[in-house]
Amino acid sequence: MDYATLLQVLDTTLRLATPLLLACLAGLYSERAGIFDIGLEGKMLMAAMSAGAVAYLTGSVWLGLLAAIVGSLLFAAVHGLASITFRGNQLISGVALNFVASGITVLIAQSLFGQGGRTPPLEGAARFNPIKLPLADELAGVPIIGPFYAEVVSGHTFLVYVGLLMVPLSWWVLYRTRFGLRLRAVGENPASVDTAGISVVRLRYTAVAITGILCGLAGAYMSTGLQAGFGKEMTAGRGYIALAALIFAKWRPWYCLWATLLFGFFQAIALRPDVIENTIGISIPVPALDALPYILTVVVLAGLVGKAIPPRAGGEPYVKER
């Protein structure tokens, strides 16, 4: 593989890793607070459709982004209601919401646009366009670093940079703020938070809302950044891959970045089977490449690469004990 091809693959990696990263961080907040969320997929799908539809109708990608967040928050609220207020089973709630999202997004898009559940293609201000970072042209001549900066780092859409900035921000929130301390505590032992006089319910709703917002960004990126418009089931399991990445990342923000970049890299090379064949001399079937993230997750879960210990109170509704 020559350097230009490598840069192409890395560029694609970053583009494909972004929705995974945003969704992975979304899951991080919820799961750190003790609410398992298998419904990342559904929220992303809902957000992608909302963004695509509103951006097309208004011509403004920013209104589309807002709609994506609102749509995703709506689903997050239902999940919160089911799992926090009514202490229901978090897996069932998440799976149900995924099914609802799968159907309702197509239904709405079809009734609005009548194009078989798609939104019409977005153009101009209705989608996020690549941003050229400062000095990209000036540095392009510098060997190695120049092309890397110009090709891989620069030239992405707004939400890619938002995703990357969310990583240090999440780390800071989680480990350097009062809110982060309480969030981590409520996912480990809600009784400790409750007896300290802090509302478990409010903390968990806040976490679930943050999850909703980040899933909104992830979904909006799908339909207005990565692609130009919403299509049926366009998230294609990314919510689940993000969950796998979250486990791989052991519920830590920086690890989330590395995990999603790795999974993004697999997706990128799955798009370029020719590159692999040229590099290692063997042709690997694309489905096998697609399966790599899941195989990795199984390896992690089996405890082969260190132990992934989920937040201890995860998945369990908090009931004051007698």
Q: Which residues bind other proteins (CB under 8 A)?
A: 175-182, 184-185, 188-189, 191-198, 312, 320-322
Of 242, 200, 195, the residue nearest 218 (C-alpha): 242
**Cβ-based nearer residue to other proteins, 32 or 43:** 32
CA dist., res. 249 & res. 131, Å (int) = 29
Residues 52 and 64: beta-carbon distance below 8 Å:
yes
CB of 145 to other proteins, least distance (A): 36
In the bound state with other proteins, the residue whose beta carbon lies nearer, of 194 and 233, is 194
Helix (H, G, I), strand (E, B) or coil at 156: strand
**CA pair distance 250, 307, nearest whole angstrom:** 8
Q: How far is the CB of 196 from other proteins (least distance, A)?
A: 3
Q: How far is the CB of 181 from other proteins (least distance, A)?
A: 6
DSSP characters over 87-121 = ---HHHHHHHHHHHHHHHHHHHHHHHH-SSSPPPP
Q: 306 or 320, CB closer to other proteins?
A: 320
Q: 144 vs 196, which CB is nearer to other proteins?
A: 196
Nearest partner of 164 among 25, 322, 9, judged by Cα: 25
Distance of CA 122 to the CA centre of its chain: 22
266-40-259-129 Cα dihedral, nearest 10 degrees: 70
Q: Least distance in Å: CB of 315 to other proteins?
A: 17
Label residue 282 left, alpha or beta by phi (over 0 means left) and psi (-120 to 50 means alpha).
Answer: beta
Q: How far apart are CA 126 and CA 108, in angstroms?
A: 19
CA distance 115 to 112: 9
Nearer to other proteins, 2 or 321 (CB): 321
Cα-based distances in Å from 145 to 136, 151, 225: 11, 10, 26
Q: Which is nearer to other proteins, 88 or 310 (CB)?
A: 310
DSSP symbols for 112-145: HH-SSSPPPPP-GGGS---BPPTTHHHHTTSTTH
Residue closer to other proteins (CB basis): 7 or 198: 198
Least Å from the CB of residue 88 to other proteins: 20
Residue 133 Cβ, how far from other proteins at the closest point, in Å?
Answer: 31
For other proteins, give the closer residue by CB, 99 or 254: 254
CB of 36 to other proteins, least distance (A): 18
CB of 319 to other proteins, least distance (A): 12
> What is the closest distance, in whole angstroms, from the C-beta atom of residue 189 to other proteins in the complex?
5
Compute the distance between CA of residue 20 and CA of residue 76 in angstroms, rounded to an integer: 18
* Between 20 and 174, CB nearer to other proteins: 174
